[in-house]
Amino acid sequence: MIETKIYVGLNDSGTYEQKFETEKYISVLKNVCRAYHVAFSFSVIQGGYFHENGEYTGENTLAISLIDAPADVIPEIARDLCAFFHQESVLVTEGTVNAYYINEDLTTPY
């Protein structure tokens, strides 16, 4: 299976400050993923980056995980989140993962 992660910083690209509460960004994220009919999970993480002038900025980031999402919708989701969150860019990573489901039926092999 392919796992795609989209990392979206919450600081505004113009002011380098987070404009809204994190919960508002989470609500937008959920609506975007629902609109594209993709299963997702996310976490709120903290990170930082350096501007071209060498200034350091810390920020909250949403890390969205998509497992086997259709390849054609991933760039669309990333572009929408980039625009809605007023970002210069978002980071997309992809990799192969071994994934399987376990259920409570002990007779079903996994």
Sequence spans of domains, the chain: 2-96
**Using 50, 70 and 90 to split pLDDT, how confident is the model at 76?**
very high
> Can you tell me the distance from the alpha carbon of 9 to that of 55, in angstroms, rounded to the nearest whole number?
16
Q: Which CATH number fits domain 2-96: 3.30.70.120, 3.40.30.10, 3.30.70.1280, 3.20.20.70?
A: 3.30.70.120
Tokens of 79: 């572009």
Instruction: Identify whether the C-beta of residue 61 lies closer than 8 Å to the C-beta of residue 8.
Output: yes
pTM: 0.88
pLDDT at 26 over 90: yes
pLDDT at 110 over 70: no
SS3 99: coil
Instruction: Identify whether the C-beta of residue 10 lies closer than 8 Å to the C-beta of residue 85.
Output: yes
